[in-house]
Amino acid sequence: MGTTLRLVARRLWQLLPIVMFATLVVFLLLQLVPGDPALILAGDYASKERIEEIRQLYGFDRPLIVQYLSWFLNVLHGDLGTSLLSGAPVLELIMQRMPNTVLIAVYSLIIAAVVGITLGVLAATRVGSRVDAFVTSTASLGVALPSFWLAILLVATFALQLHLFPATGARPFTVNPGDAIRHATLPAVALAVGVIAELARQTRSALIEVLSSQYVRTLRAKGLGPMAILWKHGLRNISVTLLTLLGLAVNRLFSGAVVIEAVFAIPGAGSLVAYSAINKDFPVVQGTVLMFAVIVILVNLTVDILNALLDPRVAEE
């Protein structure tokens, strides 16, 4: 247990520099976007003096590094600032949008885990069969498919032709969970396909290795049935691989959400970032990127802790 605690402490300590680096890079990239926020803020018919005044008021005239550090210091005090465009507190904006993104990401992860692992297990236990051939051939295809293209295809078929799911928008989960899930289904499926393909492939190869191992021969020699060998020993032995993959999938789902939310016109954190970046609303971009970074790091930390608990070999490292 001591090793696990040390692991948590070390990871939490690493959080600070990673978050700082990520937000700094985004901040510098934003400078490349054409346009001047002071111009936008001042309005269409503002005088040159007025624009200069606004520039000084918001501190845009200061050196970039000073601007960045003052933002970061405020963050450390719990203040994410206000939106340049709407004047609303950034934290409030994120809190409005984030639930929609989290719903899609979690939903998509559940679909991917159930379908991907099932396909992988089916393929691994029937090597050379038709199921196996299907999984191995479509897995590479699934990884290569762009999710936005798939999204458009899904909308065309399931929303516009069959009217099974709404084509766009989102509903808050807390108000009407059923409706929220119906709205989130197509985006979640579009995001899940790539992860399903990856999971199925990796589950298959990891499980084939475990099932041909010497300890599985021992399990058979002691009279265990194939189901106990597969579901108890097989899955437990590949759980570290699976959890690590799911952790990586979370990163992928959040970055994929930016595009998918645009396709489905979902007011989520991804579309918030995209819209704010185009308009150089840097406090909002920074704040959202910070949130994404923290979520990704915490997910990876959870994965590491679970791995250490599941596999004594990981804990010993």
Closer CB to other proteins, residue 197 or residue 238? 238
78 forms part of the interface with other proteins (CB under 8 A): no
316 forms part of the interface with other proteins (CB under 8 A): yes
Rounded Cα gap, residues 227 and 235, in angstroms: 11
| Piece of 5-13, 59-67, 186-194, 306-314 that binds other proteins (CB under 8 A) | 306-314
Residue with tokens 């009279």: 223
Shortest Cβ distance from residue 137 to other proteins (Å)?
22
Shortest Cβ distance from residue 219 to other proteins (Å)?
7
52 forms part of the interface with other proteins (CB under 8 A): no
305 forms part of the interface with other proteins (CB under 8 A): no
106 forms part of the interface with other proteins (CB under 8 A): no
311 forms part of the interface with other proteins (CB under 8 A): yes
Is 87 in a helix, a strand, or coil?
Answer: coil
Shortest Cβ distance from residue 130 to other proteins (Å)?
16
Distance linking the first and last C-alpha atoms of the chain: 13
Shortest Cβ distance from residue 164 to other proteins (Å)?
42
Closer CB to other proteins, residue 178 or residue 223? 223
Closer CB to other proteins, residue 17 or residue 128? 128
Single-letter code of the amino acid located at 28:
L
Shortest Cβ distance from residue 217 to other proteins (Å)?
6
Q: Would you say 117 and 198 are in contact if contact means Cβ atoms under 8 Å apart?
A: no
Closer CB to other proteins, residue 106 or residue 224? 224
Please work out, in degrees rounded to the nearest 5, the angle formed at the alpha carbon of residue 226 by the alpha carbons of 225 and 228.
70
Shortest Cβ distance from residue 18 to other proteins (Å)?
30
Give the helix ranges, DSSP H, for the chain: 2-30, 37-42, 48-58, 64-76, 90-125, 130-144, 147-154, 177-211, 214-221, 226-228, 235-264, 269-278, 282-310, 312-316
DSSP per position, 10-61: HHHHHHHHHHHHHHHHHHHHHTTSSS-HHHHHH-TT--HHHHHHHHHHHTTT
Total binding residues for other proteins by CB under 8 A? 21
Those residues whose C-beta lies under 8 Å from the C-beta of residue 27, and which sit 6 or more positions away, are: 64, 67, 68, 71, 282, 286
Shortest Cβ distance from residue 11 to other proteins (Å)?
23
Task: Report the largest interatomic distance among the alpha carbons of the chain, rounded to a whole angstrom.
Answer: 87
Rounded Cα gap, residues 144 and 197, in angstroms: 9
2 forms part of the interface with other proteins (CB under 8 A): no
Shortest Cβ distance from residue 243 to other proteins (Å)?
13
179-238 residues in contact with other proteins (CB under 8 A) are: 213-215, 217-225, 228, 233, 236-237
Q: Would you say 149 and 139 are in contact if contact means Cβ atoms under 8 Å apart?
A: no
Closer CB to other proteins, residue 34 or residue 223? 223
77 forms part of the interface with other proteins (CB under 8 A): no
Q: Which positions touch other proteins (CB under 8 A)?
A: 213-215, 217-225, 228, 233, 236-237, 310-313, 316
